[in-house]
Structure 1
Amino acid sequence: MTGARKVVVIGGGVAGLASAALLARDGFEVELHEKNATVGGRVGSWTKNGFHFDTGPSWYLMPDVFEHYFGLLGSAAGDELALTRLEPAYRAFFEGHAEPIDVRSGTAAVTALFDGIEPGAGPRIASYLESARTTYELAVRRFLYTTYRSMVPLVRRDVVTRLGPLTRMLVQPLDRFIATYVRDRRLEQILGYPAVFLGTAPSRAPSIYHLMSHLDLVDGVYYPQGGFRALVDSLVTLAEAEGVRIHTSSRATTIHTAVRARRWRGRDHRRFRVTGVSFAAGDDQVTVDADVVVGAADLHHVETRLLGDAARSRSASWWSRRDPGPGAVLVLLGVRGQVPQLAHHSLFFARDWEKHFAAIHRSEAIPDPASIYVSRTTASDPAMAPDGHENLFLLVPVAADPAMGRGGVDGAGDRAVELVADAAIRQVATWAGVPDLAERIVVRRTIGPQDFADDVFAWRGGALGLAHTARQSAFFRGRNRSRRVAGLFYAGHSTLPGIGLPMCLISAEVLLKAVRGDDSTGPLPAPLPVRSTGRRADTDHDGPARPRRWPR
């Protein structure tokens, strides 16, 4: 097909790269613009003195989602990434308990672990995991891969017959749901911590998200050798193979629109149509014409900074009612010698972790001790540090508030950020039994909420994106298609289906459905047929292009 419609993707994070590749394969002429010198968005990396750090996501969950996405482009996860299954999946340290708990994946292993800690809990946790499995499978079939443009496709027997339980799980908080299965505080925290992946607390997350326990406790936790930069590199290669043109150091400044020439009937009340995007590239200002624009950067930034007032779908009052999720202080440490006390993933749970969640929600000082996360990638990938050394990544959830400041190298960050980092290092050293940890640090860098605001235009300096509370989940989260501007779509953590790497890959597929006008609920058949743009003369066609309803 020649004369393909032109798409401009704003933002080169995982969602932007994934969206660009799918759209190009579907027959669009696509170019992607990223404001930073490298693509990846929140999936960043940092290297110093032979130490290599991931500065963003570090958990590889939902392997089926990655496998499906690569399959859409005619590839496979095993061809793109060298994956290692982690054993244990993670290690958990608990305030007031001298010995940590190693959590291994698999129903039998988890059932035995829970029964050993709380006699009689084994059968209950088996029931919990079965519910998590069936809920997850239903979510994949009906809720994760849909645009919610129409609710009719959701009226299916598997949804209707479970409507009562699903409704209860949407209104019952996760912590109360967990309490009906286990009583031991440690087990409650193991089941509740995935809420943090969703940008919220167990007391504020709907219990439908107990499905997350199927992912880490049953499906398992993986790690891509070379770090998560390997995922970004793979997405770049796939996108460019589909014909996507990628521009870095190209910052979007304006999304251009025009008043629509005709009055549309029905429910389509959009007043404007997209015409192009202007970018600042060094000292130059460039405007690129476009039939379709995909805002894959932070949604608040796209709506409030790139569009005029009349073209915005979300008002200031809408944003004032949103929960931005937590911010974070990240601490990157190069450590001399070994730290076998820590697993690849280690979780540190304060006894009163509700106090920590409350401090985040109220923008108060983080308590000490805090509930924190530590990644030791050298446990699975020794090449990430020089011989005889380890690298550690500490994450302390804090309020989403840029006023806390920026991080820095070797303690040069703002005081509030460095104080949180110092407290976290002391806590890890004490709880994990590494008393000389601070003295063995040879490389140190911190990252604070203002860095997230600067680097990825994160709304309020949030580390993850809009929290998955009941009011910000599924169809309440907001559509991925502008209500005011025809041809303007959204992808990424702030839109459907949500935050996290797998969700960003799904977001790209949901975007493609929105552009096509496809209201189906499940994943698309893989691989996607190649619809040539005329620039892919070396690619065989699988038949004539199907009739298409272009975005209007």
Structure 2
Amino acid sequence: MSTAHDASGHARSGPEKGSAVVIGAGIAGLATGALLAAEGWSVRILEAREVVGGRAGTWEHGGFRFDTGPSWYLMPEVFDHFFHLLGTSAAEELDLIPLDPAYRVYSQPRQSDPFPPTDVTSGRAAATELFERIEPGAGALLDAYLDSAADAYDLSVNRFLYDTYETTAGLRDPALLRRAGTLAPLLTRSLASHVERRFTDPRLRQILGYPAVFLGGSPYGVPSLYHLMSHLDLDEGVLYPRGGLTEVIRAVERQALRFGASVETGCEVAEITTTDAAGPGRAAATATGVRLTDGLRIDADLVVSTADLHHTETALLPPKLQTYPQKWWDKRTPSPGALLILLGVDGALPQLAHHTLLFTEQWRENFEDIFQSPTRIPDPASLYVCKPSATDGAVAPTGSENLFVLVPVPADPSIGHGGVDGDGDPRVEAAADRVIAQIADWCGIPDLAERIVVRRTIAPGDFVDDLHSWRGNALGLAHTLGQSAMFRPRNASRKVRGLSYAGGSALPGIGLPMCLISAELVLKRLRGDRTPGPLPEPARV
């Protein structure tokens, strides 16, 4: 066992509550540890790998530094709220840069009447002007669409995302019930159908539908309530934390350390230890700590697992204590898997913005390839390219570009493993070759492959090995209607007292902001706070 950091001895802000073990040092684990330590708990955060960050990892090679996970900074008020709970702010902890354009879109080339690339600039006026230019009449429709998206977003933050759903009181609030007529269609209609009722041009439909991928789903599978995502990129704007999303991880880790939590790497948990199960009651046992793979036992009054929830339930607990056993998972939908391609490229790539999206003409078929049986790696694929070197000179050598390419693929570890410099599994590397050729062709970079000086691939098999990811998925449980809000796994075991959950597969869902909220939900449950909104922020001196 190695200890990366130990901040014991630092003052905590509350009275001593007891000892807590947090499994996993991704953003959810670090955030949970920070909030618990600030509350007065003695916290040990245990990470199986030698580095923190989980899915939000980092890799350095040949003078390039790559984020290996999330790369969009959205929902900035969620980050601010988290930091405010701990007496600081995102502005103090991060150097946030607005992106202009927010992103660029390339559509699949047509031999006749090809679409030019489309730059999407945030802000209501710019977004409506773009939509109107592409499709006459669409500007006014987008204005109404974004009004609805902003309303849905406000409703979600204040009524749904911060609710532990220990009771149905929040759902029975008269103010919410009065809106049932508006909410019902948003919950029962798919995002794709919601968009297609309003817009005709395929580019506009894809711009409004693609955020479903950030939710681990398909626009044909997630409910249209999630049109709220367009409020984030089209109304609010897209930010970039200088240094990459790994700087967000470091900032959250600093808070955990500041309040006295320890962060220990190389500590893989093999078992959540409990008292003997007393019977078939709602909570048949009590968590007593964890046992590591090296045999070391660590006692605790509270255990919070932020590891993959399927792994936590089916590998760290015996069958009789599993709230979500394998038969439960057999009926659930994972997010897509991901083929990640990290490329260090010699020379400039002005054809690509900081964020670039490539959309196929066979849009629906692309998602069917991923989610419907039999699955296959889409070819050509709708994909995403991040070029952080457009904004941040520290992530690549001078005169070079840093590319992170994400290709949604089926959640299927049999696709294989990635590698460095083409030494991954043949199926993975062949798919990466096709993607590089697609980017070169669609974006007008004919010599792209010849200019690559660093290459690494990461595939679903790696997500299983590195993160114990269920079926090799990249994000967690997809946000289908049956896996959202009150239908998502709760943040506490029903079978084991003193065992809580946080992370992308538990309440409230996928993404860095959601993981921060999931950490807050652990604290709310411990406090007995059953209100549907965020915790009140302490006054700042």
Return the TM-score normalized by structure 2.
Answer: 0.95
Which stretch of the first structure deviates more once superposed, 342-351 or 148-157? Answer: 148-157
Asked whether the 8 Å contact 1:363–1:399 carries over to 2, the reply is no
> Aligned partners of 1:83 and 1:418: how far apart in 2?
35
Match of 2:60 in 1: 47
Asked whether the 8 Å contact 2:16–2:41 carries over to 1, the reply is no
Counterpart pick for 2:471 among 452, 460, 469: 460
> Aligned partners of 1:13 and 1:289: how far apart in 2?
22
Counterpart pick for 1:448 among 423, 447, 459: 459
Deviations 1:218-244 (A, max 9, x none): 111111101111111111111011110
> Aligned partners of 2:368 and 2:171: how far apart in 1?
36
> Aligned partners of 1:233 and 1:124: how far apart in 2?
41
Match of 2:330 in 1: 320
Match of 2:396 in 1: 385
Alpha-carbon offset, residue 260 of structure 1: 6.5
> Aligned partners of 2:115 and 2:514: how far apart in 1?
36
Match of 1:240 in 2: 257
Match of 1:335 in 2: 345
> Aligned partners of 2:301 and 2:484: how far apart in 1?
30
Match of 2:75 in 1: 62
Alpha-carbon offset, residue 214 of structure 1: 0.2
Q: Secondary structure at the match of 2:217?
A: coil
- Mark the runs of 5 or more structure 2 residues left unpaired by the alignment: 1-13
Deviations 1:362-408 (A, max 9, x none): 25222321101000000000211101100111111111111111100
> Aligned partners of 2:458 and 2:370: how far apart in 1?
17
| Count of matched residue positions in the alignment of Structure 1 and Structure 2 | 523
Residue type matched to 2:503 in 1?
G
Deviations 1:70-120 (A, max 9, x none): 100000001100011100000000013341100000111111110110001
Deviations 1:501-528 (A, max 9, x none): 0000111111111122211111111138
Question: 1:405/1:39 Cα in 2 relative to 1: closer, same or farther (>3 Å)?
Answer: same
How does 1:81-230 map onto structure 2 within 5 Å?
81-95=94-108, 96=110, 97-230=114-247
Asked whether the 8 Å contact 2:416–2:460 carries over to 1, the reply is yes
Q: Secondary structure at the match of 2:139?
A: helix
Q: Secondary structure at the match of 2:375?
A: coil
Q: Secondary structure at the match of 1:154?
A: coil
Which stretch of the first structure deviates more once superposed, 74-83 or 95-104? Answer: 95-104
Match of 2:430 in 1: 419
> Aligned partners of 1:472 and 1:153: how far apart in 2?
18
Return the TM-score normalized by structure 1.
Answer: 0.93
Asked whether the 8 Å contact 2:17–2:39 carries over to 1, the reply is no
Q: Secondary structure at the match of 2:65?
A: strand
Q: Secondary structure at the match of 2:447?
A: coil
Asked whether the 8 Å contact 1:191–1:213 carries over to 2, the reply is yes
Q: Secondary structure at the match of 1:71?
A: helix
> Quick check: 1:508 aligned with 2:526?
no
Question: 1:28/1:138 Cα in 2 relative to 1: closer, same or farther (>3 Å)?
Answer: same
Residue type matched to 1:222 in 2?
L
Asked whether the 8 Å contact 2:287–2:499 carries over to 1, the reply is yes
- Mark the runs of 5 or more structure 1 residues left unpaired by the alignment: 530-541, 543-552
> Aligned partners of 1:158 and 1:411: how far apart in 2?
57
> Quick check: 1:474 aligned with 2:485?
yes
Asked whether the 8 Å contact 1:363–1:401 carries over to 2, the reply is no
> Aligned partners of 1:162 and 1:374: how far apart in 2?
39
Residue type matched to 1:129 in 2?
L
Question: 1:221/1:188 Cα in 2 relative to 1: closer, same or farther (>3 Å)?
Answer: same
Q: Secondary structure at the match of 2:295?
A: strand
How does 1:71-86 map onto structure 2 within 5 Å?
71-86=84-99
Asked whether the 8 Å contact 2:243–2:392 carries over to 1, the reply is yes
Match of 1:375 in 2: 386
Q: CA RMSD in A?
A: 1.5
Match of 1:258 in 2: 275
> Aligned partners of 1:171 and 1:440: how far apart in 2?
48
- Percent identity over paired residues: 53
Question: 1:411/1:260 Cα in 2 relative to 1: closer, same or farther (>3 Å)?
Answer: closer
> Aligned partners of 1:156 and 1:8: how far apart in 2?
35
Alpha-carbon offset, residue 189 of structure 1: 0.3
> Quick check: 1:292 aligned with 2:299?
no
> Aligned partners of 1:393 and 1:236: how far apart in 2?
24
> Aligned partners of 2:530 and 2:486: how far apart in 1?
13
> Aligned partners of 1:150 and 1:17: how far apart in 2?
27
Which stretch of the first structure deviates more once superposed, 514-523 or 422-431? Answer: 514-523
Deviations 1:127-171 (A, max 9, x none): 000000011001111100010110113322431121122121111
Alpha-carbon offset, residue 479 of structure 1: 0.9
Residue type matched to 1:477 in 2?
R
Asked whether the 8 Å contact 2:186–2:225 carries over to 1, the reply is yes
Q: Secondary structure at the match of 1:112?
A: helix
Match of 1:428 in 2: 439
